[in-house]
Amino acid sequence: MKKILIVEDYADARSFMKFVVEMYGYEVIEAANGQEAVETVKHELPDLILMDLAMPVMDGFTATRIIRESNGKDQMPIIAVTAFGSSCYKQAIEAGCNDLVDKPVDFEKLKPVLTRYLVN
C-alpha cells in the first residue's frame, strides 16, 4: 500500500484530507508543520508528500528544499497544497515541488494527481 505524508498545520483540514486519502486506498502519516515533515521523512519513507506551503515553525517551501537535499529524497513526489493558488506555482516548483493543488482541496481533482505520481 502506498504511503502519503500529509503536512498541514490545521488539524481539522489534516483530518479531513486523511479521511479522503485513506478512502482512496492509501496509508496516511501526518505532520503539523514543515519541521515535523522533515523529521518524519527521516524515519518514514512516504511515497508522496502533500505539503502545505504556509505553516508555522517551518514553511512548506523550506521543508521541501531540505527534504530534496536529503540523501535519496530527490525523486519523492511533493505536491504543494496552498490557498495562494497559481501565484505560488513558480516558487513551489523552484523549491522542489512537483505540482500544486489549490485549497480548498477539490478531492475529485486530487485523486488523478495522486494516481499520476503514484504509478506502479
Summarised one tens digit per residue, pLDDT across range 10-58 is 999 999 999 999 999 999 999 999 999 999 999 999 999 999 999 999 9
User: Tell me, what's the pLDDT at 74?
Assistant: 73
**Rounded-to-integer distance, Cα 16 and Cα 35, Å:** 21
Whole-number mean pLDDT of the chain? Answer: 92
User: Tell me, what's the pLDDT at 28?
Assistant: 98
36: Cα separation from own chain's centroid? 12
Query: What are the structural domains of the chain?
Result: 3-49+60-117 (3.40.50.2300)
User: Tell me, what's the pLDDT at 67?
Assistant: 95
User: Tell me, what's the pLDDT at 107?
Assistant: 85
- pLDDT band at 68, cuts 50/70/90? very high
CB atoms < 10 A from the CB of 102, how many?
17
Give the amino acid at 91: Q
Give the amino acid at 94: E
Q: Is the dihedral of CA 106, 97, 90, 52 positive or negative?
A: positive
* Rounded mean pLDDT, 95-115: 92
User: Tell me, what's the pLDDT at 120?
Assistant: 58
CA angle 49/50/54 to nearest 5° reads 120
